[in-house]
Amino acid sequence: MAAGMSPDEDVQRLLIQFRDEAGEALGSPFDVPVTVTPDKLQLVCNALLRKDEPVPLAFFVHDAEIIASLEKTLVGQSVETEKVLDIIYQPQAVFRVRAVTRCTSSLEGHTEAVISVAFSPTGKYLASGSGDTTVRFWDLSTETPQFTAKGHRHWVLSIAWSPDGKKLASGCKNSQIFLWDPATGSQIGRVLSGHSKWITCLCWEPLHINPECRYLASASKDGSIRIWDTLMGRCDKILTSHTQSVTCVKWGGDGLIYSSSQDRTIKVWRSQDGVLCRTLQGHAHWVNTMALSTDYVLRTGAFEPAEATINPQDVRGSLAELKDKARQRYDQVRGQEPERLVSGSDDFTLFLWRPAEDKKPLERMTGHQALINQVLFSPDTRIIASASFDKSIKLWDGRTGKYLTSLRGHVSAVYQIAWSADSRLLVSGSSDSTLKVWDAKMKKLAIDLPGHADEVYATDWSPDGQRVASGGKDKCLRIWRR
C-alpha cells in the first residue's frame, strides 16, 4: 500500500439526508461511508437536533431499520448512488423496560376462572374480575390479596380503571355495572342498571377532556352503548344504531366514541351529544376488537412511565394540573394527524382506519388464518400487534398497516397481549397455558413463562414497567417480575 493511503479510502460513500417521521428534513445532505453504523448516525443526528439531553434514535431506509450498518441494510435494495438517500430518524423511549423473567407470586383467592386483569394507570393497584362474581384488588407491595369486592351476581366480564386511577368500573353478565374504590375495596355510588343484556366492554372519558373522570361508556350484547354519569349514578345518553351485540367501545381523545359490533360495522359517535357521525364498513364477519393509536396515553392520563418510581404512587396535583399534563402527553403522542383505529374480526382480517376523517379504510391487513382476538397499538403508536386463534401474533406498521412479521411459538390460540411502556417488548397469554415475552425490535421470542396450570385468558403489563399480571382457567392470579 502506498504511503499516505488509509485502508478505508476505497469504501463507497453515499449522500444522506435525515428526515423525521413526517418527512421534514433535518440539516442538509452530507456524505457518509456506506459502512456507517447506527451509533455514528446517532451522534450526528443528535448534534443536529441540538437537544440538551441526547435521545436514543432508530434509523430507517425505505422502511427497513438500520441495525448493523447502512451497507447491510441496503443489501437487496436498489440504490441510486448519485441521489440523496433519505434516512428517517425515530426517537425511542428514553427509559427501558426489562423483560419479566420469573413468577414472583401465585395468588389464590378467586374460586372460578380469572377473566380480566388490569393495572391502574400508574401501576399502583391491580384488579381482577372473575367468573366467581367478584372483583379482587391485590396489594402490589406485598403481592397479597387486599380486597374482595362483592356485589355482582354473575360473571364479571369487563373491568376498566378511570384514567386518574381512583375508580374501577366492572360490568357483569347480569348487565349491571359497579364502581369500586381501590383504596378501600368498597362500592362507590349506586349500581348502574339499564342494559338488558350482558356488558361486553367499558371505557372512561379521557382525563384531558374531563379530569373529574365523571363519564363512563359501556357496550352491551343488547346492541346499545350507554354513557353514564357516575357522579349522579344515572344514564346520560343511549347510543343506538347497531343491529347486533356491541363488542367493544373506545372513547377517543378528540371527542369521538367508537363502537364495534357483531353487525360487522364500526360506528363513530360524537361524545358531547351522542350524534352518529359515520359508519365504517368492510369487515365480512363480526368485529371483535378495536384499538386506538392513542389508547396507551389515554389509559395512563397524567402519568409519565419515564418518571415511574420504585413504589408506584398516584399522580399528585390539582385537577387543572392533571388535565394539563394529560393534554400535553396526549398531544405529543397524537402528533399532527388524527388518531388511527385498527379493528380485528372473525373474518381473519384487520382494517386500519382514520375514523375522524374518512369512512374508507387506509389498509386491509390480511394474513391471519383464524379469528382475531385482540389488537393493540404500541404505546409509541408505531407498531400494531394482533393476537389470533391461529396461534400467532402478527406485527404491522402502525402508520400504514403494512405487514412486518409473525411471532410464532404458542402451540394454541393466543388470547391476550400487552405492550411494555417503552414499546420494545410484548407479552402474550395463550390457551397453551404459557405466557411469552417477545422482543418487538428483534422480532423474536425473548422469554418463555410457563407456570399456569391451564389456559391464560388475561394478561396486562403495568404502566411503570415493573410487573406483568396474568390470570385464567386455573383461578390463580400470577405476578411476574424481572
Residue 247 phi/psi, 5° resolution?
Answer: -95, -25
Exposure of 426 by Cβ count < 10 A (0-12 exposed, 13-18 middle, 19+ buried)? buried
pLDDT tens by residue, 28-83: 998 999 999 999 999 999 999 888 788 889 999 988 889 889 989 888 887 777 78
Q: What is the pLDDT of residue 337?
A: 86
H helix runs in 180-220, sequence order: none
Q: What is the pLDDT of residue 4?
A: 43
Residue 369 DSSP one-character state: S
Mean pLDDT (whole number) for 250-274: 96
Percent of the chain with pLDDT over 90: 82
Closest Cα to residue 70, out of 144, 131, 14, 152?
Answer: 14
Our measurement of the distance from residue 452's CA atom to the centroid of its chain's CA atoms, rounded to an integer in Å, reads 24
Dihedral, 287, 415, 258, 193 alpha carbons, nearest 10: 100
d(CA 426, CA 434): 14
Q: How confident is the model at residue 5 (pLDDT cuts 50, 70, 90)?
A: very low
* Average pLDDT over the chain, rounded to an integer: 93
Residue with cell 434516512: 87
Is residue 1 over pLDDT 50?
Answer: no
pLDDT tens by residue, 140-169: 988 999 999 999 999 999 999 999 999 999
Is residue 3 over pLDDT 50?
Answer: no
Distances from the Cα of 250 to the Cαs of 206, 342, 348, 434, in angstroms? 10, 11, 21, 29
pLDDT tens by residue, 378-398: 999 999 999 999 999 999 999
Residue with cell 439526508: 17
| 286 and 346 Cβ atoms separated by less than 8 Å | yes
In SS3 terms, 300-329 reads as HCCCCHHHCCCCCCCCCCCHHHHHHHHHHH
Number of other residues whose CB lies within 10 A of the CB of residue 191: 12
Q: What is the pLDDT of residue 141?
A: 87
Residue 206 DSSP one-character state: P
Please state the pTM of the whole predicted model: 0.90
| Out of 229-233, 334-338, 469-473, least confident range | 334-338
Greater pLDDT, 7 or 358: 358
d(CA 24, CA 113): 51
d(CA 276, CA 237): 12
Residue 420 phi/psi, 5° resolution?
Answer: -75, 155
Calculate Rg over the CA atoms of the chain: 23
Q: What is the pLDDT of residue 9?
A: 59
